[in-house]
Homo-oligomer: A and B are copies of this chain.
Amino acid sequence: MSNKVPSADNQQGRLDEKLTPDYLVGLVDGEGYFSVSVFIDHSKNYLSRRVKMVFGIDLNITDGKILYDIRDWFGCGDVRLKIDKRERFSHQLQYQISDRKLLKKVIIPFFKKHPLKLTKRKITFNKFVEMLELIENKVHLSEKGFVRVRNLAQQLHDKSPQRLHAEPHQKVVGDDIVHAV
């Protein structure tokens, strides 16, 4: 990944003909997610409290081309194939950003400037921003702080199965895993 961090303010100048901020907000209101995984990693010789934060959009592979445009629009993130082995289910393309520096410099300013409109998405986004702040301040590294972050992630968690987003690439060793969508 390049060390150059694009800024949200730069995006307006490189407006893709096909994409507009309003379109992106509408699509993310429908198909986007802000996901937080909180877990203890016992795989090393010492206990490691870990938090993974992800902004992403998953689309059916037929529709996925637009994710490359979105990646180019934001100037960061990765598009990868997500294989679904279930019969009658399509493979998906998945656009994700999990680099916290990029989340802070690009994604959060974008959605602050162009707010999400659906109530649950707005609430999730605001909590995601709050959690990123805590993580940046390394609050989760203490036992007490870790519990606080885990509780926040639990609040973020939408219990409706339709909305449940599983982290397919998550390697987790430990018991405390919370996904928020």
Contacts of A62 in B (CB 8 A): 119-120
Q: Mark A31-68, 1 if CB is under 8 A from B, else 0.
A: 10000000000000000000000000001101101100
Hey, which bits of chain A sit against chain B, CB under 8 A?
A: 18, 20-31, 59-60, 62-63, 65-66, 88-90, 117-121, 159-163
Taking a contact as CB atoms under 8 Å apart, the answer to whether A65 and B119 are in contact is yes
How distant is the Cα of A20 from the Cα of B65 in the complex, in angstroms? 24
Question: Which B-chain residue is minimally distant from A18 (CB atoms)?
Answer: B117
Contacts of A60 in B (CB 8 A): 120, 160, 162-163
Taking a contact as CB atoms under 8 Å apart, the answer to whether A118 and B26 are in contact is no
Given A27-B29, A29-B63, A63-B119, 6 extra CB contacts under 8 A: A25-B26, A26-B29, A27-B30, A59-B118, A63-B120, A65-B119
A–B pairs, 30, beta carbons within 8 Å: A18-B117, A22-B22, A23-B26, A23-B117, A24-B26, A25-B26, A26-B27, A26-B28, A27-B27, A27-B29, A29-B30, A29-B31, A29-B63, A30-B31, A31-B31, A59-B118, A60-B160, A60-B162, A60-B163, A63-B118, A63-B119, A63-B120, A63-B121, A65-B119, A66-B117, A66-B118, A88-B160, A89-B160, A90-B160, A90-B162
Contacts of A30 in B (CB 8 A): 26-27, 29-31
